[in-house]
Each structure stands twice: as C-alpha cells, then as structure tokens.
Amino acid sequence: MIDRKQKLGAGILLILLVLVLANRFTSNDIASQNLDSIFDPPSLTYPLGTDQFGRCNLARISSAILTSLSMASICVITASTIGTLTGFFSAWYGGHVDRFFSTVVNIIMALPGLIIVLLFSSIIPGSFFMIYLSISLVLWLEYFRVVRARVMSLKSEPAVQMSQLYGFNLVYILRRHLWPSIKTDLATLACFGAGNAILILASIGFVYVGLRPPDAELGLMMVELFPYYSDAPWVLAQPLLAIFALVLAFNLLAKGGSNDAID
C-alpha cells in the first residue's frame, strides 16, 4: 500500500522528470555559450536563466538531473543484483562460501565508501564507467548484509524446512518463501541506495574528480557557480535544489517502504 510519503516522493520525481522532458522542446544546448547573455534572468528563451558563460540553465539542469538518475539507476540495479545473489548463496550454503564472501565484504568495508569512489575515479578522471563501477562496489555491501541476515533467519523456519523435505528445488523455495520476505527490504535499500549514489556523484564532482566539462553534473555545477553566488544567487540555488529534491524524493520512497516492512 502506497502511503502519503511515498506519493510525495513519487510526485517530486515526476516533477523533476517533467523538467527533464521540458528541455526536449527547446533548441538550447548544454554547451552552447552566449557571452552577451551572462546571468540573464529567466525568460521565454531561457526559462531558468543563464550561467556565467551564457549557457541555458534549463538545458544544463535537466541534463544533470538525467545524468544523476541514470547513474543512480544502473548502480542500484548492479548493486542489488550482485548483493542479493551473493548474500543468498552465502547464507544458504554457509561454510567456505559464507566465509569467502564475508571476508571480501569486510575488506571493502575497511575503507570509507567515498574513499573507494575517489580512488577509482582518479584512475580515469571523468570516466562515467569508473564512477559507476566504484559506486556499485560500495552499494552492494548493504544488500549482501541484509539478504544474508534475512535468509539465515528464514532458512530455519518450518515452512522452508518442510519444502526441503518434500524435495522442492531451490528456485521454488526462493520464489515461494524467501523472496516475499525480503522484497520490501530490497525496495527500501534501493531507494536509499539511489539517494546515496546521487550524493556521491555530486560529492566527487564538487572536488573535480567526477565528470568533466562540458558535461553537466550537479556537483560540478555548484563548484563552478559558487564564485558568482553574490552576482546571481538564483543560478547557484538551482543545482542545490535539484540535489535536495532528488535525495528527498528517494528517501521519502524509502521511508514508505520501511513503514510497510514494519506493518
């Protein structure tokens, strides 16, 4: 059942997607400069004004939001798939399998997640693939830990043991008994993970090791516009509000998912 917080989160995401689609109806390019239109206020030509190079803010913000959502989506899909599978096999088979995966997780967790992302991003600066790989490497740990703990608890339940005694295969047990019990937890982790991926992408962009110009990215836009906050504060506010809205939306969706889990 979708609650009010989830509806609000979905509504915020819908508004941001409409903003992304709205740019498709304009002819403005994210890299097209017009030095005669520096920091122009919002108008029909430039609905969100222009930046320090006379570039269209609507085009750049919509492109940056799309980049953040794309990064969050593929990172969550990759991390959830790897984390769920490894967590399930680790808990179900135990022994050497569990010790191996648990050791790998402990090694990765020895370093802060942001440090891992910075290390990977510095190998090939500005590489979308390296950023995606590093964020996925950080996010899958939570899926592993949650799924491992849940499956270890569920495998000892009478219903699961009866299915094993009757000779049902592993696919049936997973679909009939395990998946219904972990899917809400996975949905909640996915929402939190998407918000974290957006924050990480913005953080490394803020320290110049993320995506590079002329790509539009929210963290990079903030650091580029910060020196001009007194000249055009509304321009600096746009990427800040975009990050706030994205993270808030995913956290509201996650909050709704956790409420359902409790109920």
Three-class secondary structure assignment of the chain: CCCHHHHHHHHHHHHHHHHHHHHHHCCCCCCCCCHHHCCCCCCCCCCCCECCCCCEHHHHHHHHHHHHHHHHHHHHHHHHHHHHHHHHHHHHHCHHHHHHHHHHHHHHHCCCHHHHHHHHHHHCCCCHHHHHHHHHHHHHHHHHHHHHHHHHHHCCCHHHHHHHHCCCCHHHHHHHHHHHHHHHHHHHHHHHHHHHHHHHHHHHHHCCCCCCCCCCCHHHHHHHHHHHCCCCHHHHHHHHHHHHHHHHHHHHHHHHHHHHHHC
Mean pLDDT, rounded, of the chain: 88
Residue 261 has pLDDT above 80, yes or no: no
6-10, 30-34, 146-150: which has the minimum mean pLDDT?
A: 30-34
Q: What is the pLDDT of residues 189-198, one digit of tens each?
A: 999 999 999 9
With a threshold of 0.85, does the pTM exceed it?
yes
Q: Is 221 exposed, middle or buried (0-12, 13-18, 19+ CB in 10 A)?
A: buried
What average pLDDT does range 194-205 have in this prediction? 93
For residue 263, the model assigns a pLDDT of: 39
4-20+54-262 domain in CATH 3.30.930.10? no
For residue 112, the model assigns a pLDDT of: 87
